[in-house]
Amino acid sequence: MRFALCVRPDRPRTAEAAAGAAARMRATGHETVEVSLEAPDLASRVRGVEVAWVFGGDGTMLQAARAFAPLGVPLLGVNLGRLGFLTSATISQLDGTVADVAAGRFVHDERALLDARLLRDGREVVRSLALNDVVVARAELVRSIHVAVAVDEEPLIVYWADGLIVATATGSTAYGFSVGGPLILPASRAIMIAPIAPHLSFANAIVFDSEQRLRLDVQEEPARLSIDGQVEHALVAGDVIEVRRAAVVARFVHPAGAKSFLTLFREKILKEPGS
């Protein structure tokens, strides 16, 4: 098989782990290419790859999902981080996992992504995919901001809050969960919004149909736009953020014996031992 081994350039420990893994994969007859997730020629370098092995933690998986979803390449995460909610293997399990994947002992898992556009004076200035969430929040001043939300062009509510989270099902266990949002199972294509510290505003999270389009109008500044907690942009009053379900999906590979989502949820979120 042809594998890509992917790392973030600012994580030297993961690069060492990926290099060692690549050597072991080649020794068992597999073709490998080692790439940085920030390589400008990523698409051409991974052409023909059947699985991209991503070395790192959940943050690295978020970056990899945004990079690889348009390419249609499935990801398999090798956990070198802390939480490991999006990863399926560890370094100690690597040889067995490679054997399982090569033998076809794995399942595919498709996750919905968000497509977010930042419009300023009617012009698109930022467009990005998000696997977890799109967040509009207050910036350096410790005060609430007003964000007006419309659904399919119909006004819904004006939030006065520290911010607003728009999340996928995958992101429902991340920032959205920490502010009291619902758990949404990852197979769902639903979109959720949840306010952050709302003041005199509707405080409950809202879940929308996968085909509905959200529009967030920033009425005050300073504010910031955050994509998956990794890509940030300054916002000014009058900016509009349009969010909808992306046309592409993030594809993951889970080898035989990998823990189910609900098992991971009990272990890592509910902290139930021995689940």
Positions marked active-site: 58
Euclidean distance between CA atoms 68 and 74, whole angstroms: 8
Residue 44 CB neighbours (<10 A)? 8
Q: Secondary structure of 49-98 in the HEC alphabet?
A: CCEEEEEECHHHHHHHHHHHHHHCCCEEEEECCCCCCCCCECHHHHHHHH
β-pair partners for 6 = 35, 54
Contacts of 60 (CB under 8 A, 6+ apart): 6, 7, 8, 11, 14, 37, 54, 77, 81
β-pair partners for 128 = 116
Using DSSP, state whether 202 is helix, strand or coil.
Answer: coil
Encoding tokens for residue 188? 């769902």
Euclidean distance between CA atoms 233 and 227, whole angstroms: 9
In this structure, the dihedral spanned by the alpha carbons of residues 134, 222, 213 and 172, taken in order and rounded to 10 degrees, is 30
